Amino acid sequence: MNKSLSIPRRRGGRCQRGLAAIEFALCLPVLVALLVLPVFFARAFWHYTMAQKAAQNAARYLAGASAAELGAPDAPRAASRLAREIVQRQIAEMSQGAVVSGIDVACDESSCADTPEGRLPATVRVSFQVTMSEPGGLAGFGWYDLPINASYTLRHAGN
């Protein structure tokens, strides 16, 4: 048999068994990071998009409120309360552990509840902060309380 065609099993007198396991153990954290980080960012962008959609829906409701809906003495306060409820319900559908704080409903840069009787606002704005909570996800890394700010402004339909 020709010795030049044989493949040596030992190199430099040492055994190569287990080298693939060591290389895998060294590369595994990098591979996990390459898989986990895109999933985390996708979830964060999804939460941001859903929060913006909740703000948009609440602002759209306020922007379409008629003079009869906003002209009655207690109507602006009720419309503001309903816009807050729209945000709360949509965020609750988005994530069970999401915490909504500081829902601000503004008509012409002041509270909608302070809108004078019979006057329609030129613009309406809904803004709030929601905390992205993923208790079963990346909690081990400490990335589960990410604050997300959402704000949406529209011109009132009556103007």
Nearest 10 degrees: CA dihedral of 37, 38, 43, 45? Answer: 110
**According to the model, what pLDDT value does residue 139 have?**
46
Residue of 38 and 57 predicted with greater confidence: 57
Tens-place pLDDT, residues 83-127: 999 999 999 888 776 778 889 998 888 887 777 776 788 899 999
Whole-number average pLDDT of the chain: 81
**According to the model, what pLDDT value does residue 153 have?**
94
| d(C-alpha 56, C-alpha 137), whole Å | 28
Is residue 159 over pLDDT 70? no
| d(C-alpha 10, C-alpha 19), whole Å | 13
Tens-place pLDDT, residues 34-45: 888 888 888 889
- Reduced to 3 states (helix: H, G, I; strand: E, B; else coil), residue 156 is coil
Is residue 71 over pLDDT 80? no
Helix (H) or strand (E) holding 126: strand 123-132
**Model's pTM, two decimal places?**
0.73
Residue of 77 and 144 predicted with greater confidence: 77
| d(C-alpha 156, C-alpha 60), whole Å | 9
